[in-house]
Every structure is written in C-alpha cells, then in structure tokens.
Amino acid sequence: MDELFTPPGVIWRRVSPRLAVVRRAMLGAAAVVLVGLLAVLAAMADVAAGEVVLGLLAVGVAMAAAWWLVGRSVRRWGYAELDEELLITSGALVRRLVVVPYGRMQYVDVHAGPVDQLTGIATLRLHTASPGTSAVVPGLPVDEAARLRDRLTARGETRAAGL
C-alpha cells in the first residue's frame, strides 16, 4: 500500500468486498449483452469463424482487465475519520486522497441502487460547497453507512463553519 494515499497512523476502514461482487456482476451482465449483440451482428453479416473467435477473445481480454481493475479499485477504497477531517482514498489507476474537514460538509447522501440493496451495501457521498470535491465511499454495509452518515452529520454540526 502506498503511504502517500493511505497515510499511516490512522485507522483505515476498507469498503466491503461485496462491492466487488456487485460490480463484477454488472460487468458480467454487460459482457453477456455485448456478446449477444456481437452474435446478432455476426449472424446477420455472415463472418468467418476465425473472426468470431477473435471478437470473443477481445471481449474476454477486456473483461479480464476490467475484472482486475474492479478488484484493485475495491481493495484500495477506504476512509479514515480523524478529529477534524474525513480522509477518503481511492483509485485503481489514478490514485486519489481527499481530505474533507467536517465543518465544510454541506450534506451527506446515502444511496443504494437495486443491486446494492440485494447485497446490502450503500454508497455514501459528501457534498461541500465545491463541485470539485469528489468524496464518495461506495460499498459500505447499509447499517455502517447510516452510522457513518450520522457521525459525520453530528461532527459537521459541532464544527460547522460559515462559508
């Protein structure tokens, strides 16, 4: 782990590995759709068997890369609650560390899509007055997401700072 993006000395909490399951399931669904489309195209404009194999191979390679990236991204996603700031680290290729002072939070969103709900995870998003702040923690167990939201809101109130 790179100490630049996960500074040591604080407790880093990782997101649930279920996030990888959800994302890979969606990836698989996308692959099925893609292969289906390719099959229809191939049937319509009759192509050689070699080309079909080549196409499947390309999809396979892309899927493998995406599979690996999802795993890496989920492993690297984490957050740490300091006294004054929330730290969020993320990124499979482009690595990122976001520091949000509690007093700067405008509101906190917890969002769970249909697939997330099946697996019991949720996404937490912090909003500040700046649109540039990309403070997102996906893959939190639902109750943990709610607890974190409440803690953040409470701290935001005690440290509320005017703009």
Q: Is 5 in the site for other proteins (CB under 8 A)?
A: yes
Q: Is 151 in the site for other proteins (CB under 8 A)?
A: yes
Residue 15 DSSP label: P
Give Dmax (Cα) for the chain. 68
**Beta carbon of residue 91, minimum distance to other proteins (angstroms, whole number):** 8
In the region spanning residues 110 to 149, those forming contacts with other proteins, defined by CB under 8 A, are 128-135, 147
Cβ atoms of 24 and 70 within 8 Å: the answer is yes
Residue 96 CA to residue 78 CA, distance in Å, equals 11
Query: Residue 18 or 151: which CB sits closer to other proteins?
Result: 151
In the region spanning residues 11 to 30, those forming contacts with other proteins, defined by CB under 8 A, are 11
Residue 88 DSSP label: E
**Beta carbon of residue 16, minimum distance to other proteins (angstroms, whole number):** 14
Radius of gyration of the chain (CA): 20
Helix (H) / strand (E) containing 20: helix 18-44
- Given 19, 100, 112, 145, the residue binding other proteins (CB under 8 A): 100
Q: Is 108 in the site for other proteins (CB under 8 A)?
A: no
**Beta carbon of residue 142, minimum distance to other proteins (angstroms, whole number):** 15
Vertex 75: Cα angle to 20 and 16 (nearest 5): 55
Give the residues lining the site for other proteins (CB under 8 A).
Answer: 3-5, 7-11, 81-85, 91, 93-101, 103-104, 128-135, 147, 151, 154-155, 158-163
